[in-house]
Structure 1
Amino acid sequence: MTRQLDLDPRPESPAPKPLVAVDRAIAELRRGAAVLVRAPGLRVLMLAAEAVGDESLARLQADAGVPPVLAVTGRRAGVLGLTETEDGVFRLSSQSGFDAATIAALTDPCAESNSPLDLSRLDVVKASGAEPACVALAKLSRLLPAAVLAELGGHAPFDVVQVEADDIAAYQTTAARSLVQVSQARVPLEGAENARIVAFRPSDGGIEHLAIVIGEPDPDQPVLARLHSECFTGDLLGSLRCDCGDQLRGAIAEIAQAGSGVLLYLAQEGRGIGLVNKLRAYQLQDAGFDTLDANLQLGFDDDERIYLPAAQMLRLLGIGRVRLLTNNPGKVESLARHGVEVTERVPHVFPSNDHNQGYLRTKATRGGHLF
């Protein structure tokens, strides 16, 4: 028996206050302002390291009354040679304090520095208080994964946005579970004229994820599906540095040839690090790092994506079983972990070119992709 996918928009419910607080904190960090992060028994004022200037640094110290410290990921601390473990978050402090140029040199491998860093003057401690939440908030802001922070003893500045550390940690899961369909329209595509685009938005008003529904998939059968992370350079500009554009257009063509299916277009640029950081990673690749090590140089994990939004979108479309177009076994495992049955992994391979051979080789040898 064939039944139609559920494409009726749901009414948007009010966003939970924790989602709103994190969303506001993200906006503050991206414009260079400080936010107050609360952890059990602790309050810290933080700035995103990427947005720090000497003036904002001085203001942070004046408001807190203590010298700021720097929090970086274990990945970045390991790259700097400050720790042997790459797990967690580390707090860096210096008796002489930090200026904006030193913070940039410690957190941004693409930053130009006029003087060498003296790492011997740094005190390095594995962090367990508010620092992990501050770094996570910088990541959510699509900025470099580093934060400048100072513990607050007295009153907070009257106009500062406040957010709980636990709400930061839960943000991606909470946002994904709050996704609702907000619009859908018929959009004939080249090679797939019977197509619709369905938009899903989290309840805090954050960035939308899209589903391209081709034909009339039967939710009672495994649906041919592709999870595609947005790639501005590959999808729109036809960049030869990756195979994303080929995979996007190839998936649309293959689903159309099969008669029906769905492509989820996920707002996870650069494996979840954002477009600006992806461009930084490209700069590092030009300096000799492969695609995974470039991410690690920046302080990110090799893949920062989560697939709960994809699973939630499939559920909202009424799809519980899929035949997944992918070369990445991690996507299969992630969907299964979130309750979507993958009945088959369908290979999705395209010819390489002179510019992306190393990229594809790294995905196979280090990323576990199957070609």
Structure 2
Amino acid sequence: MTIPIAINSAKTAAGLRPDTLGLDTSEKVARLVCDTRLGLPVLVGDGVDMAVIAPVETLRADRFAQLLAYGAPCLVLSARRYAALMPDAPPDAASAYALALSAATPLDQIRQIAGGADVAKGVIPADVVPVSCAAPLMNAALALSKAAQLLPAMMLWRIPVSARDTLLRQGLAYVAAQAVLDELSSARDFGAVSAAALPMVCSAAGSVQIFRPDNGGPEHYAITIGTVNPDQPVLTRLHSACFTGDVLGSLKCDCGPQLHAALDAMAQAGGGVLIYLNQEGRGIGLANKMRAYALQDAGLDTVQANHQLGFEDDERDFRVGATMLSMLGIAQVRLLTNNPAKMRILASHGVDVVERVPLQVGKTRQNAHYLATKALKSGHILT
């Protein structure tokens, strides 16, 4: 079950000429994400406000020293991280907070505040206080850090608009803050890249098709088992990548057993599709997942660990699965899942979930608390 391979099909459909060399907004934001992951400062603007933002986790010390020429930065934290650091602070509806740093605050201490310490506790020094900052600038900064799968913590220097041209000549990329937010929150278009038959242990009649998003993000895979009739409800699973469970056989989660049980169920049913989403660690990436594991070893549960690092309970985007199923011509599914959120997202994006097929496998002594947390805090149906 494959769809025609088309290179840059989404952009062609959008009416862009093949000889256009200028970057569109999506490409500019993708460049900002890459620069952020590399530890490069970037520019964002909000009307009359202009700021240099730089990732706490990957910014080099020499670049940090150069940026201090613009004064002491603000440290932008997510509301989750701020609440973890300031549990006695009054509740606020803000999604991001800015802390005024001293020009003498060393980079290592800033990283500890951001969550880079071994158990990600961090301490806010007495001279570091909350400060007002334009919400679009802060939210764009955090969106970039999450898209780059770094700790959600960015340093921000407010600069005069007149300094913009100088920084652009030095190679810094610029995008308006609202454009960053709109682009990173929008559903992605995909192109089919390649496909081939792949006999597997569960079924000799298997195939894998690769889908690539239009923003240069990670590719996702459609794994077809047996014969699939898209005119009938298709046995389907949305499975998020789990290196530790799928590859290493980790006992801390049930992901590996769920993956193999789903493929076996499809083989026994004569056909099915598994959408393999490269959204490791509930969308926070493997490095942050290992940080969360260290926090769990220190006594936190899965959700508490994510919050301690500054993330939401679940940062995955299941719209990706809905888009891929639609591209495969699948409008009705029998969904192998214990997670009602997947059902809601598919239904809200045009995929009819005619049946939820439970997938309760892989419970171990080591993951019993993890599974209980999924049921209690994330609404998974495990009974």
TM above 0.5, yes or no, is yes
Residue of structure 2 in register with 1:365 after alignment:
376
Instruction: Note if contact 1:22-1:163 (Cα within 8 Å) is conserved in structure 2.
Output: yes
Whether 1:324 aligns to 2:322 is no
| 1:334 paired residue among 324, 345, 348 | 345
- Structure 1, unaligned stretches of length 5 or more? none
Residue of structure 2 in register with 1:170 after alignment:
182
In 1: Cα distance, 2:94 partner to 2:125 partner: 23
Instruction: Note if contact 1:224-1:325 (Cα within 8 Å) is conserved in structure 2.
Output: yes
Shift of 1:112: 7.8
Matched residue SS, 1:366: helix
| 1:295 paired residue among 306, 321, 344 | 306
In 2: Cα distance, 1:277 partner to 1:359 partner: 17
Shift of 1:103: 1.0
Shift of 1:96: 5.7
Instruction: Note if contact 2:73-2:103 (Cα within 8 Å) is conserved in structure 1.
Output: no
Shift of 1:275: 0.5
Deviations 1:282-315 (A, max 9, x none): 0000100001100000000010111111111001
- Distance verdict in 2 for CA 1:24–1:116, change over 3 Å: closer
In 2: Cα distance, 1:368 partner to 1:116 partner: 33
Number of equivalent positions: 363
Matched residue SS, 1:189: coil
Deviates more, 1:21-30 or 1:136-145: 21-30
Deviations 1:141-197 (A, max 9, x none): 0000111011121323111111232332233454x4321111111011111211110
- Structure 2, unaligned stretches of length 5 or more? 12-22
Residue of structure 1 in register with 2:19 after alignment:
none
Residue of structure 1 in register with 2:243 after alignment:
232
Deviates more, 1:51-60 or 1:159-168: 51-60
Residue of structure 1 in register with 2:100 after alignment:
93
The residue correspondences of 1:1-371 to structure 2 (distance < 5 A) are 5-13=1-9, 17-62=24-69, 65-81=70-86, 82-85=89-92, 87-94=94-101, 98-108=105-115, 110-111=117-118, 117-119=124-126, 121-125=128-132, 128-153=135-160, 154-156=162-164, 157=167, 158=169, 159-172=171-184, 174=186, 176-371=187-382
Shift of 1:231: 0.6
In 2: Cα distance, 1:112 partner to 1:281 partner: 9
Shift of 1:260: 0.8
- Distance verdict in 2 for CA 1:365–1:87, change over 3 Å: farther
- Distance verdict in 2 for CA 1:177–1:52, change over 3 Å: closer
Matched residue SS, 1:45: strand
Matched residue SS, 1:129: helix
Matched residue SS, 2:57: helix
Instruction: Note if contact 2:72-2:103 (Cα within 8 Å) is conserved in structure 1.
Output: no
Matched residue SS, 2:196: strand
Instruction: Note if contact 2:237-2:335 (Cα within 8 Å) is conserved in structure 1.
Output: yes
Deviates more, 1:32-41 or 1:5-14: 5-14
Shift of 1:111: 4.3
Shift of 1:109: 5.5
- Distance verdict in 2 for CA 1:150–1:96, change over 3 Å: closer
In 2: Cα distance, 1:232 partner to 1:192 partner: 22
TM value normalised by structure 2? 0.89
Matched residue SS, 2:229: coil
In 2: Cα distance, 1:263 partner to 1:283 partner: 30
Shift of 1:332: 0.5
Q: Give me the CA root mean square deviation.
A: 2.1
Shift of 1:124: 4.4
Shift of 1:123: 2.6
In 2: Cα distance, 1:199 partner to 1:251 partner: 19
Deviations 1:323-362 (A, max 9, x none): 1100000110111111111111110001411211111111
Instruction: Note if contact 1:173-1:308 (Cα within 8 Å) is conserved in structure 2.
Output: no
Deviates more, 1:72-81 or 1:82-91: 82-91
Matched residue SS, 2:281: helix
Moved over 6 A (4+): none
Deviations 1:90-137 (A, max 9, x none): 111145653212211211153489x96424641344751301110110
Identity %: 40
